[in-house]
Structure 1
Amino acid sequence: MTSQLQTRAMMHKVHNALTDLNLETLTVCAPHMLQVQPVTAVLLALGSNYQADYYLPRVRDSLAMLGQIKLSTAFQNPDFTATLEQPKPDYTNQCVYIALTSPMTLQQLQQTFKKFESDCNRQRVTEAQTTSKKVTMDIDILLIKTALDKNSLSREKTFKTPDITRTTWIIMADRYPFKAHERAGIEELILNGFLKD
């Protein structure tokens, strides 16, 4: 009975953590500025254009070991680099929110996600040598929620707002503006009450 109550309390916490988030008011920051910041939650974009039905569930199981997760609908999208002369396989994309069980630095998260990609047989060297890449799993960090020292990033010029609160969501500058499928996934999680300031 106690574990059921703890699970419900955690799910309520996850639900409340993602409600009413306004993407237009968030800070945008380069990831290199945040490498050592403790991250308490993260929003990811997953993508696969090769055996997605196998690799997406596999990586979601790995991600669930890090904390409570919530998923957007998986969307199938054409590769935006494809042309009539050079067709490429469609991607299956999905956004994932994770409320981390224990805070991790952004650098630790990046290393962990690279390992998860490798566990899914991602072959970056082979991909770079071919025009039609078979991507088993791509994990991109879109947003992080972190506790920040208000003055630690005062020189960063990509902020949308100069005032950083103690706990805040930050958009990764290397992923912004979001692609259409990323925005759709994020907005679905927001609408379903899984994202908030």
Structure 2
Amino acid sequence: MVDGVVAGSKAQHRQALLAARRAVPGATRTDEALALAGHLGEFVAPGDTVCAYLPVGTEPGSPHLVDRLRELSARVLLPVTRFGGDGEPLALMWGVYVPGALVAARFGLLEPAEPWLPSLVVAQADTVLVPALAVDRNGIRLGRGGGFYDRSLPLCRPGARLVAVVRDDEVVDELPSAAHDVRMTHALTPAQGLFALAHTL
């Protein structure tokens, strides 16, 4: 993928980005996952509330990332996916991360066991780590298209750090956007760590 203006539809971008991720050697993914976890101490403080997620498949990171957050004495919340009666995705609910207490869920994910916290609890988060296939320098994020984060991110409080977690070459100059897109304030990459995106400067 070329670092620059990305042309084409979101579906085309997703296909290309997913193919590029599948081509990354396993050893590289492992090294990058360790690097991502190593950067957390640069911006997560004891007592922070962090909404995170468990990376799956070729997503950057590993379960060690959420364990590292707990080591930093953060309150770690993990997402719970739900659908409405019409089959539409709903805003994420959240559960407190307790090692060894996750349960199997949709899409091959692991989620916190009940009791769950309401969607609005995301407004308590100091930092929200957001899965992404790419992010541009103005904060536009390209996700997988499920819609869960599109419904959840508007509930975040003003001033919260919204962090797209991506590989270094997945930070691009421009991505297609829609009116409902909530811009990321930061990106977190293995080599660069956490850095602010242009619209927050």
TM-score range, shorter chain: under 0.3
TM-score (norm 1): 0.24
Greater fraction of residues in strand: 1
Higher relative contact order at CA 8 Å, sep ≥6: structure 1 or structure 2?
1
Greater fraction of residues in helix: 1
Larger radius of gyration: 1
TM-score (norm 2): 0.24
